């Protein structure tokens, strides 16, 4: 059965894993469209608490009984196939839908800008949304992160435009057909799903070829993988952006520091103006030029774009800077080596006495494939601290574990300290660190909580 939003309003829709950033966003969008929503997750979190405050019924713990009291069950790829509630849903005969199928309905209800790619898609989404807000267009949005500018990860406004972060990790973005699509970059990631870069390119090509008539695809013309996708598409549907002067939209850097950047932008031979960002790094300029290309094609004036970008505050835990005890601490969710390299290059712009990278590796498949890439990505750090990996539900690969990765990094010439117990990291950093250090934490919320605790207990001014 092919559902419509109107038909869903007659059903009770139950979301498995409602505390996840993407599923919580879906819950908010559905409720705003008049759908009765319930959900469950394995643990309490700030997101589950916020959803309850918004009037959504949230249960802690998966229970097959939830299926009997609801009409449509929605799951994400993160829900294990052997989850008892998920199994009961499949056995019930009731409709069981992937979250991307529901997102596809929301995307189709607007002139949607869908943003995808290996790195930066959440930031680009938020930039586009913020610019359109500042232009008075009040777009709907669905973003896999929390932004100080927007205050939430999703909002339905009922207006013409919507901005949606589309997850390429499992191919499910092919269930969505936005009017505008942006491909920020294409690299080999999510090796639990993809076996080669050719698989990733093929999936994104299939996504683009399924877009509606009159679509536009915005492509990072500096990225090899994104260009491979563009080569399979009609040239008339593609708009390119990046640093290259022959691209449809291109930039030149004027100033680059660890606090901000300034750059000029051209559309073809026409200079649109100069822009300022307070989220640092060349990679954020790359994110911004993609956003500029999209909103310019939607008719937003350069002056409005410039004001919006100057007040853009990024996403939580994407190069989030804290200071304490004369040291700098940066939190970043990045786990792909190319993105980690860019974050460390940006941190080095602040000329720290020492640059330390703390990394909680992610999945056996990732560390097996990217071991040498991680060594190259973190070469800019004076010390690399590794703690035990998060398996992400994967089956172990014989001979591949955290200690194996540590040895590979040492063979690559890195100064590696292996602290298997993550809880020991704050004490180690407090004991060995000094004023002037910059420590970058790559991982998830559990690691970031330790970073925050360390920052707060150091003497001196903390921010």
405-448: pLDDT as tens digits: 999 999 999 999 999 999 999 999 999 999 999 999 999 999 99
**Which domain covers residue 73, as residue numbers?**
11-98
Residues 207 and 341 occupy one common structural domain = no
- pLDDT score, position 197: 95
Q: Which helix (H) or strand (E) holds 344?
A: helix 337-348
- pLDDT score, position 462: 46
Residues 153 and 302 occupy one common structural domain = yes
Q: Torsions phi, psi of 393, nearest 5?
A: 80, 5
Rounded to 5°, angle at Cα 251 from 379 and 346: 25
89's tokens = 């849903």
Q: How many structural domains are present in the chain?
A: 3
Residues 370 and 248 occupy one common structural domain = no
Nearest Cα residue to 194 out of 184, 204, 185: 204
Residues 354 and 436 occupy one common structural domain = yes
Last residue of a domain, one of 98, 133, 165: 98
Last residue of a domain, one of 310, 340, 368: 310
Residue 359 DSSP SS3: strand
d(CA 441, CA 447): 7
Residues 154 and 288 occupy one common structural domain = yes
Residues 150 and 249 occupy one common structural domain = yes
Q: Is residue 116 part of a domain?
A: yes
Residues 258 and 332 occupy one common structural domain = no
Residues 368 and 402 occupy one common structural domain = yes
Residue 355 DSSP SS3: strand
Q: Is residue 463 part of a domain?
A: no
Residues 297 and 428 occupy one common structural domain = no
Q: Is residue 4 part of a domain?
A: no
202's tokens = 């093929």
Residues 301 and 335 occupy one common structural domain = no
Last residue of a domain, one of 259, 281, 310: 310
Residues 27 and 89 occupy one common structural domain = yes
pTM of the model: 0.94
Residues 188 and 215 occupy one common structural domain = yes
How far from the centroid of its chain's Cα atoms is residue 151's Cα? 16
Residue range 184-201: average pLDDT?
91
Name, in order, each residue with C-beta under 8 angstroms of 294's C-beta and a sequence gap of 6 or more.
113, 128, 180, 182, 218
- DSSP labels, 153-176: SEE---SSEEEEE---TTSGGGG-
Name, in order, each residue with C-beta under 8 angstroms of 68's C-beta and a sequence gap of 6 or more.
92
Q: What is the CATH number of the domain that holds 365?
A: 3.90.190.20
d(CA 211, CA 374): 35
Q: Is residue 362 part of a domain?
A: yes
Angle at which helix 337-348 crosses helix 282-297, to 10 degrees, equals 110
d(CA 267, CA 273): 10
11-45: pLDDT as tens digits: 999 999 999 999 999 999 999 999 999 999 988 98
């Amino acid at each position: 059965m092919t559902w419509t939003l109107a038909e869903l309003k007659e059903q009770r829709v139950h979301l498995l894993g409602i505390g996840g950033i993407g599923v919580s966003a879906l819950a908010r969008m559905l409720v705003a469209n008049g759908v009765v929503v319930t959900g469950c997750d394995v643990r309490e979190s700030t997101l589950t608490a916020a959803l309850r405050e918004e009037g959504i019924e949230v249960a802690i713990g998966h229970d097959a009984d939830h299926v009997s009291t609801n009409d449509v069950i929605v799951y994400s790829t993160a829900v294990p196939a052997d989850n008892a509630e998920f199994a009961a849903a499949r056995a019930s005969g009731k409709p069981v839908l992937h979250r991307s199928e529901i997102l596809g309905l929301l995307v189709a209800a607007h002139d949607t800008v869908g943003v995808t790619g290996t790195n930066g898609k959440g930031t680009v989404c938020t930039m586009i949304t913020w610019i359109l807000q500042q232009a008075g267009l009040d777009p709907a949005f669905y973003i896999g992160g929390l932004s100080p500018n927007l205050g939430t990860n999703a909002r339905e406004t009922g207006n013409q435009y919507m901005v949606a972060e589309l997850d390429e990790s499992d191919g499910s973005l092919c269930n969505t057909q936005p009017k505008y699509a942006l491909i920020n970059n294409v690299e080999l990631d999510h090796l639990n799903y993809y076996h080669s870069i050719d698989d990733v390119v093929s999936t994104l090509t299939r996504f683009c070829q399924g877009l509606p008539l009159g679509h536009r695809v915005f492509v990072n013309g500096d990225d090899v993988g994104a260009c491979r996708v563009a080569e399979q598409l009609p040239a008339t549907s593609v708009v390119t952006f990046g640093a290259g002067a022959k691209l449809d939209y291109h930039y030149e850097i004027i100033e680059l520091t660890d606090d901000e950047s300034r750059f000029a932008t051209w559309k073809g031979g026409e200079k649109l103006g100069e822009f300022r960002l307070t989220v640092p790094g060349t990679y954020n300029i790359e994110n911004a030029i993609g956003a500029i290309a999209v909103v310019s094609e939607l008719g937003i004036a350069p002056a409005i774009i410039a004001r919006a970008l100057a007040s853009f505050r990024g996403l939580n835990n994407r190069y989030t800077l804290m200071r304490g005890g004369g040291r700098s601490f940066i939190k970043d969710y990045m786990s792909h080596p190319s993105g980690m390299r860019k974050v460390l290059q940006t941190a080095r712009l602040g000329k720290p006495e020492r640059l330390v990278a703390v990394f909680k590796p992610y999945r056996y498949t990732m560390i097996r494939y990217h071991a040498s890439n991680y060594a190259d990505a973190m070469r800019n750090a004076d010390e690399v601290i590794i703690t035990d990996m998060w398996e992400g539900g994967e089956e172990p690969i014989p001979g591949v574990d955290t200690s194996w990765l540590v040895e590979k990094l040492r063979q690559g010439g890195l100064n590696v300290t292996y602290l298997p117990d993550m809880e020991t990291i704050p004490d180690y950093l407090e004991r060995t660190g000094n004023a002037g250090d910059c420590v970058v934490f790559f991982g998830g919320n559990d690691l970031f909580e330790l970073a925050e605790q360390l920052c707060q207990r150091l003497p001196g001014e903390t921010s």
